[in-house]
Chain A
């Protein structure tokens, strides 16, 4: 969510009255904004650079307001004087704005791209000229600008705007030139807007221009500029297109759940800066949508504004008459039943991460990662997010390792999903619901884990014995298990998992010190 800094007194001037902090907070709530902080320039500098640097800074009260991502029009009232980026959400910039003292420049202006070493100018707040390369280094330590450097840093050419005398206005999206900076003596402002999304750039320009034009000598007037594109086509900006939409009053009432007259609805919408009037058969509302409201793309957007103006908390709460019979997802129903009886069998449930390192599901279990058919995440920040787990065992063993001081034996279980690549599915991977249990003690307790398996089969009503859809365990081996102490479990004609005493190497790799036996099965076949 972008945050805008606004001078409180100017804001109140614009709103036509003063508010206490609580009243203003309430007002923001009703309109979908959040008053994030009440501060001042002095406080801000004090926090960032210490009280010494802050001495002499402005005490004027600033409101920091959080604005929803789609309400570009609410974004600036005064905070953009330094003319840099608008969207601060997640350090991504789609659109950059520059504001310049027009009287220090002479058009026409050229927006082009040059090699970084060929760009040299004195940027805002600096006392001498630097090349673009030097600036990239300097700004690496600037708390505001360092987040934007990556946008152009590795490109062969950097964007730059010149005037007809070769004066650099700015190097978007990083910094403006000092030459054309706005001062208290500035009378005429040149606004330029660059970005990676053309539609968004046009929208933002419309909004900025509208906001600034309020302070013009001839209020709400702006001198348009012709922009000639590389292909020779030209357009005039800002576009400032208004459009008219028609919405039926009863549609608004029906969607919100209120019963307002068309005239009242038109009034509500007008309060939200959507000038409206009732026309035609008395049921139609014609709405004039200003260029600043690019977020309105469907009637439902108008419905929301009407509801906000009405006040969400004034709407009557009713229950839908929808009659339905509920059903559980069978796999989850089975999981719930098994969980309770696993606890009744004396095992404790844990909840471990689905993402882990490659080592956890391969090397530490004596396997090669390619044999696991695991799903791999691209560009993980840390090793903890390299793959999605293909077995629940590592999570359980890590839980034991983190709880070494607990009294023995440790009897843990988890019933949860693992992920395996599968080209038969639409996305190429599939979840399986596994049940995994471990017994950790001075003795490996194979008979205990085996007993647990017998109990689980009893609960699932699967009789012992290979025929008649029963279960049987057969000697097996696996790199994670102690030789001769591993068995594969067959039930209802298919292999459903393995149990056994873990190999000492596995114990060591998971930083454990006692013997451990484990059981892991897929419960899907038992649905």
Chain B
């Protein structure tokens, strides 16, 4: 554009002129659209240091229909004046004249006429002056001639109030490009929260709404004692070997353990007690001291229950936690070495399996899951144990949504909890419902540094109980 014909013409004219050019005038002179000139100006401006342009808004004034009539015939008040003979005119008659009503009060305030109210046959109107200047008409005629700017601001404003003169802004007759409402707007400059952590916030909310208190879990490093032995998981259990658990080189061993409690745990494992046969093997303290990266947050639950057991008398509690755990497993599309575990615990007198199912029903209802089924399962530290299944509408089958159970007496009694106190618990992973919610198939796309930031930017609010978005309809191949 800057090298187009319009721009060239403009530059030549500019060179020849003195004191600049008006774009509107130039457009009229060249016989082209004002927009074309504006375009040339803008593109020349973009090159920098060639021209200077100043934006001025001009107002144009036009007569209204009434204004045009007055310019032709004279103002109403002037016509009123002219229609009054020497001997005056009855007001009633005057009012019947075309301009009468409108012009009368104006003529009065101009002091061109007066009313004699005491006249014999009703109020009578007389001229006061011999002649008058029809200023209004004169001004309107000026404006008609395109010289409205010669009038004062006040005069123009008055004429506009009387609806004789109208301001014609230059936008009124400009064509505008239609908006493309199908295009997107400009996204606001914002920060974003990570989708997995949005889901975590929702789960925290759910637990808090159900009266559960958050347990401290700020320790990734745990001893085998709290991670396994205190939970009545035997030392030869396969989960305790290098293939599933990350053991530590440094610090390799836990420095402090509550020794009297440790003794009770040792006895329960190796000889039994508290109504149990035990596992009948040789329990080793060295094995219990081995440090590891915790494989579940149930170790934190064990610590919390132990602390609870030291407080007498016993008070019922509801605890929860959501935090990171570590497994040395085979990695694949849905498994990483680190993930987040959600855990809920209720400790009270006389809790039953029916209570566990009831709590699970309330919990999952808050996730929008109402159809639940329970399947017998096995955990080293709960008995009975249940896997929780819900019906997935999309996959048309029952899928596992969590694991649960009643903690074994061999775990609770050595802690010092009263005998008729039952502790029910359940857990699930945070990643799985998140991947389902946000339609992510590979866990590495969600967790870790290889995440696609665009996904984080675009992810919607986490509303766990909202209806899932229907999948996009297939397009014809």
* Residues of A participating in the B interface, judged by any CB pair closer than 8 Å: 29-32, 68-71, 89-92, 94, 197, 199, 254-258, 297-301, 303-304, 307-308, 312-313, 315-329, 331-332, 336, 339-340, 342-355, 375-381, 384-385, 388, 395, 398-399, 401-403, 406, 410-413, 417, 419, 421, 423, 425-431, 433
Contacts and interface: CB of A to CB of B under 8 A. Distances in A.
B335 interface: no
B253 A399 contact: no
29 contacts: A68-B377, A90-B241, A304-B385, A319-B355, A321-B348, A323-B211, A325-B213, A329-B214, A332-B214, A336-B201, A340-B193, A343-B192, A346-B189, A350-B456, A351-B447, A352-B449, A355-B326, A355-B338, A388-B293, A402-B451, A417-B218, A421-B250, A423-B255, A425-B255, A426-B254, A427-B221, A429-B219, A429-B220, A433-B218
A433 B217 CA distance: 12
Interface stretch (B57-65, B98-106, B139-147, B276-284): B276-284
Contacts of B378: 32, 68-71
A385 B246 contact: yes
Contacts of A430: 219, 221
Contacts of B254: 426-428
A401 B257 CA distance: 43
A426 B288 CA distance: 13
B220 A388 contact: yes
Nearest to A348: B192
B383 A298 contact: yes
Given A90-B244, A254-B350, A303 B383 contact: yes
A313 B255 contact: no
A320 B352 CA distance: 9
Contacts of B213: 324-328
4 shortest interchain CB distances as A-B pairs: A257-B354, A257-B352, A32-B376, A428-B251
A315 B211 CA distance: 24
A401 to B, nearest CB: 8
A375 B221 contact: yes
Contacts of B251: 375, 421, 423, 427-429
Given A326-B213, A378-B249, A423-B255, A345 B355 contact: no
B342 to A, nearest CB: 13
B228 interface: no
Contact of A403 (B236, B278, B452): B452
Given A426-B256, A428-B255, A428-B291, A298 B406 contact: no
Contact of B191 (A326, A343, A375, A385): A343
Interface stretch (B12-20, B47-55, B159-167, B356-364): B356-364
A94 B238 CA distance: 10
Contacts of B272: 297
Interface residues of B, number: 102
Nearest to B246: A377
Contacts of B189: 346
B221 A349 contact: no
Contact of A307 (B212, B252, B274, B384): B384
A313 B257 CA distance: 41
Contacts of B358: 317-320
A346 B216 contact: no
Given A316-B354, A351-B447, A304 B214 contact: no
B277 A298 contact: yes
A417 to B, nearest CB: 6
Nearest to B361: A317
Nearest to B281: A199
Given A317-B361, A324-B318, A351-B448, 14 more contacts: A68-B378, A92-B241, A315-B354, A326-B208, A328-B213, A349-B191, A349-B197, A375-B221, A377-B249, A413-B191, A417-B220, A419-B220, A423-B251, A428-B221
Contacts of A254: 350, 352
Contacts of B241: 90, 92
Contacts of B366: none
Residue with the greatest number of chain B CB neighbours at <10 A, chosen from A91, A315, A344: A315
Contacts of B44: none
B451 A298 contact: no
Nearest to A402: B450
B208 A328 contact: yes
B449 A378 contact: no
A406 B221 contact: no
B449 A317 contact: no
Contact of B194 (A92, A300, A345, A350): A350
A51 B442 CA distance: 33
A324 B58 CA distance: 73
A398 B376 contact: no
A328 B319 CA distance: 10
A71 B409 CA distance: 20
Contacts of B350: 254
Contacts of A423: 251, 255
B474 interface: no
A318 B238 contact: no
B190 interface: yes
Contacts of A343: 190-193
Contacts of A301: 383
B114 interface: no
A386 B169 CA distance: 73
Given A297-B278, A349-B194, A353-B448, A313 B374 contact: yes
Contacts of B210: 326
Contact of A312 (B208, B242, B376): B376
B407 to A, nearest CB: 9
Interface string B176-208: 000000000000011111101100010010011
Contact of B362 (A197, A319, A406): A319
B353 A307 contact: yes
B296 interface: no
B223 interface: yes
B78 interface: no
Nearest to A433: B218
Contacts of B448: 351-353
